[in-house]
Amino acid sequence: MELQLIQLYLWVCLVCDKHPMLKYQRLSNNWQPDFTDQELITIYLFGHFQGHFNQKRIYGYISHHFLDWFPDLPSYQAFNRRLNELAEPLKIMVFELMAKFAQDNEFFAEQDCVIDSVPIMWRCARVPPKPKLPPLRLIAAIVPAKIFFITGSKYTF
């Protein structure tokens, strides 16, 4: 498993060197962090390969099993914030990874893959919604802090 983590880290560094837009200049006093973006992306992808698809579970898995490999692992809040900032580079990494799998496996190249699903908010009001929309894939949620009712659906791409 450690060899797989090392190979993934080297691949992430190779892709980051290949795409110059992944090396953006940080406009802060933390322009050279101890915990690099390459390490963050490696942890995220490695967690997915190990079957952890939630950011909190990925962080917990790495902090329990690989903390000696990543001594500068930030807190969960900083990990989550930085991971959200790296949404665009992660898209490039996923497409590069899919292209690598497509080269190695011709069956994979012929299949469509679901990348993510995102909620779409249709309505946000202070009164509960009347069910005028079809119930298929309908999501209704209540935000208790502000007493809002949110109606929406999920879009999968």
Per-residue pLDDT tens over the stretch 22-61: 776 666 666 678 898 899 999 999 999 999 988 999 999 9
What whole-number distance in Å separates Cα of residue 44 and Cα of residue 23? 18
Indicate whether 89 and 140 sit together in one domain. no
Indicate whether 59 and 128 sit together in one domain. no
Of 109, 127, 143, the one marking the end of a domain is: 109
Query: What's the domain range around 77?
Result: 2-109
Amino acid residing at 66:
F
User: Tokens in use for 92?
Assistant: 């490039």
Indicate whether 123 and 101 sit together in one domain. no
Of 70, 91, 109, the one marking the end of a domain is: 109
Q: What is the pLDDT of residue 157?
A: 45
In the chain, how many domains are there? 2
Using one digit for the tens of pLDDT, what is the confidence trace for 81-128? 888 888 888 888 888 887 877 777 665 555 555 555 555 544 555 555
pTM (2 d.p.):
0.65
